[in-house]
Amino acid sequence: MFNGASERLLEVRRLMGRAAARSGRADDACELLVVSKTWPAAKVAEVVSAGHLCFGENKVQEAAGKIPALSSMVTEDLHWHLIGHLQRNKVRKALGLFDTLHSIDSIKLARYTSNIAGELGKKPNVYLQVDLAGEERKNGYAADALRRDLDDLLSLENVSIIGLMCIPPAATTPEDARPWFAQLRELRDDLEVRAGVLFPGLSMGMSGDFEVAIEEGSTIVRVGSAIFGQRDYT
Ligand SMILES: *Cc1c(COP(=O)(O)O)cnc(C)c1O
């Protein structure tokens, strides 16, 4: 059943291409972010050998060990994206590790991140995480709050806001996620009209639903277990 991460990577790429074609999008319209959380550097190195360079981690602390370990194993320049919740006291460390943040979800956090990025001479790419379902335990901007803060967010000098990210409520079938993906795209379209700027990025779709996400306009899917197998958190 487990063919190895590099074979699975090819299979995910094939399915991504098919989903893009089905929806009349270009073959390369959607990027693949391979989610390496919980997997050791040596395992991630297998995927690098297969030619993949862009990885996502959800915890700053875990990444702080893995990223240097991996860069001592491979010669390629890798790109790291933070996909998990970012705490204020980890912002400085995160900016040293990640070039893209998928989880900025308040003006306070955005402003603080921009300030620290300025100090460090960096300008990370940022997706604003949106909580479309209003789930109490989930992080993310409510759509109304995001509309309210939009001008302030766009005035920040040292973050480059490139789009929106969502994690839909737990679902039983991939189709259950479709309305949420469509809703994120519509919110993005609305924000673009309001602000008169483009937010080309839609970070949506995971192992269980990335094909549906691509059909609904995803520009980057975050895929872990479909490539590495089931994670073991014990
Ligand atoms: C873990 C994680 C993923 C990947 O999940 P899979 O189902 O293993 O593909 C994607 N996005 C976020 C935010 C995650 O935390």
How many Å lie between the centroid of ligand 1 and the Cα of residue 84? 9
How many Å lie between the centroid of ligand 1 and the Cα of residue 204? 10
In a domain, 72, yes or no: yes
Q: Is residue 177 in contact with ligand 1, taking CB distance under 6 Å? A: no
How many Å lie between the centroid of ligand 1 and the Cα of residue 2? 19
In a domain, 15, yes or no: yes
Number of folded domains that form the chain: 1
Q: What domain range includes position 105? A: 5-228
User: In the chain, where does DSSP find H-type helix?
Assistant: 5-22, 41-49, 60-71, 91-97, 107-120, 143-154, 178-195, 210-215, 225-228
Q: Is residue 167 in contact with ligand 1, taking CB distance under 6 Å? A: yes
pLDDT of amino acid 164: 98
In a domain, 234, yes or no: no
In a domain, 172, yes or no: yes
pLDDT of amino acid 210: 98
In a domain, 233, yes or no: no
60, 139, 222: residue to mutate for ligand 1 pocket, most atoms within 8 A of CB: 222
pLDDT of amino acid 231: 87
What pLDDT digit, counting tens, does each position of 78-93 carry?
999 999 999 999 999 9
Distance CA 83, CA 113 (A): 15
Q: Is residue 153 in contact with ligand 1, taking CB distance under 6 Å? A: no
Distance CA 227, CA 36 (A): 9
pLDDT of amino acid 149: 97
Q: Is residue 225 in contact with ligand 1, taking CB distance under 6 Å? A: yes
| Distance set, CA 231 to CA 24, 35, 43, 220, 228 (Å) | 33, 11, 12, 21, 8
* CB environment 182-198: b (16+ within 10 A), e (fewer): ebbbebbeebeeeeeee
How many Å lie between the centroid of ligand 1 and the Cα of residue 186? 23
Distance CA 112, CA 31 (A): 28
Which amino acid is it at 3? N
Judge whether 56 and 36 are in contact, CB under 8 Å. yes
Q: Is residue 223 in contact with ligand 1, taking CB distance under 6 Å? A: yes
pLDDT of amino acid 1: 43
pLDDT of amino acid 233: 78
Which atom of ligand 1 is least distant from the CA of 226?
9
44: Cα within 13 Å, side-chain hemisphere: 29
Q: What is the CATH number of the domain that holds 121?
A: 3.20.20.10
pLDDT of amino acid 134: 87
How many Å lie between the centroid of ligand 1 and the Cα of residue 83? 8
pLDDT of amino acid 93: 98
In a domain, 16, yes or no: yes
In a domain, 169, yes or no: yes
Name the 3-class secondary structure at 234: coil
Residue numbers of the chain with a pLDDT score lower than 70? 1-3
